Chains A and B, each alone.
Chain A
């Protein structure tokens, strides 16, 4: 198959995979942030939304497998391309000069990406698998329950966030993790249009500015929750 060969065995094809999976993962990041912001609508709204997601197993697991597949492809192409890029210059320049015009974000995509991957693993252990030792509160998040409007006992996600984010160290992890994600996106969001060829001269400056703006908005939206809890604005 030429299509598979062109995508998986060429530099351009791997950049296509990187851009397409990156776009999908960005879409997830936006939806996830919007879901999180329901914290500010009160415990009932957030818990109802969380229960709605958790109880639809037929949708939950395909979505999780889809995300996992995108993450796997994104990382696979990143690692493969980085190795090829390194091999393309066996002898470097004296004193390792910074490449001209290259932004900090563009030069550190692999490193920011790998740290974000580590943060995501921590985040999953923290709030999804709910491994008690990593939340540093001494409490088991699985034990938190609340009654919904119909009188059923559902998981109290709101309470979990409030207890979890009262730990300053944990909040710091989240700020660093999300900060690096947004640094990654400030370059990646415009670079994906370049890699897919979906831009021309007229769109390029606007795309680059929008990518930075979107990354900043995402950063603010994500850290709003832990910071608000830490400052006791959400109880």
Chain B
């Protein structure tokens, strides 16, 4: 059998939201290069459970890069630094035998740690509740193309709609700013005719909630778009800034 990789993990351990946390070091032995990062953690956890120790708590759900649940900062980079990849889609072959990996939770005031690597991202839910929706009369399925949408707008809106709300943008930003997330939602809805109607109201309310949650401001460093697994760009932040200015100028 091919010999696996041996790694040293420095992991943030925190019992619960109220306890102080600290780093603990673990050896990950015989790791297959074909494992995903989370599968590697699963194996380490099995070892911990067998020894009667508390497994490392981390978030995951779909494990195919589309749900936005997994969230760890690996060696100081959210999702581990592979372009357009979530931690669950990051494979161990990207690391080298003998590497030491630091694994930390998203760090932001608005994302309090629940346990170990798990953070509470309900601040994102509250931002969505503040305006990340379109008020429509639900009814029968509308006819296709009943509302004309230009190809360009549709493409841009769908690009923005790719945001899975994982929070890597916040984790990577030196200011723990949620601008990329909020601007993706603002763009996704505001570019389409159904969402345009409420755009002034939407952008003002979502920004207000973003500020209330304690996220920082944008310094245009570009860290967010560098780590975003869905390649949401700073263009969306510019669009949100413009929409905010227009809404403000209208006295809304």
Contact = CB atoms under 8 A, between A and B. Distances in A.
Interface of A: 2-3, 6-7, 10-16, 81, 84-85, 87-95, 97-103, 106-107, 109, 187, 190-191, 193-201, 204
Contact of B221 (A15, A97, A99): A99
A10 B110 CA distance: 16
Considering residues B227, B233, B235, B247, which has the most beta carbons from chain A within 10 angstroms of its beta carbon? B235
Nearest to A18: B217
B248 A7 contact: yes
A195 B207 contact: no
Across chains A and B, which 7 residue pairs bring their CB atoms closest together, nearest first?
A197-B242, A97-B76, A102-B221, A88-B216, A101-B226, A197-B241, A85-B175
Interface of B: 10, 23, 73, 75-77, 81, 102, 104, 107-110, 172-177, 204, 207-208, 210-211, 214-223, 225-227, 233-235, 237-245, 247-249, 251-252
Given A93-B107, A95-B76, A88 B214 contact: yes
Contacts of A100: 77, 81, 172, 223, 226-227
Nearest to A103: B221
Contacts of A81: 216-217
B77 A85 contact: no
Most buried by B among A90, A95, A100: A100
Contacts of B233: 201
A109 to B, nearest CB: 7
Contacts of A106: 219-222
B94 to A, nearest CB: 15
A188 to B, nearest CB: 9
B244 A12 contact: yes
B220 A88 contact: no
B219 A191 contact: yes
A142 to B, nearest CB: 43
Given A2-B251, A200-B238, A204-B235, A90 B217 contact: no
Given A12-B207, A197-B240, A204-B235, A94 B217 contact: no
Contacts of B23: 94
Nearest to B173: A99
Contact of B241 (A85, A195, A201): A195
A10 B77 contact: no
Contacts of B110: 88
A4 to B, nearest CB: 10
Contacts of A201: 233, 235
B241 A99 contact: no
Contacts of B223: 99-102
A93 B220 CA distance: 20
Contacts of A194: 218, 220, 234, 237-238, 241
Contacts of A6: 204, 244, 247-248
B76 A2 contact: no
Contacts of A16: 241, 245, 248
Contacts of B108: 88-89
B234 A204 contact: yes
Interface centre among B110, B176, B225 (most CB of A within 10 A): B176
A69 B10 CA distance: 50
A3 B251 CA distance: 6
A38 B107 CA distance: 53
Contact of B76 (A85, A91, A94): A94
Given A2-B248, A99-B173, A107-B174, 12 more contacts: A3-B249, A81-B217, A84-B216, A87-B109, A93-B104, A94-B102, A97-B75, A102-B221, A102-B223, A103-B222, A187-B220, A194-B237
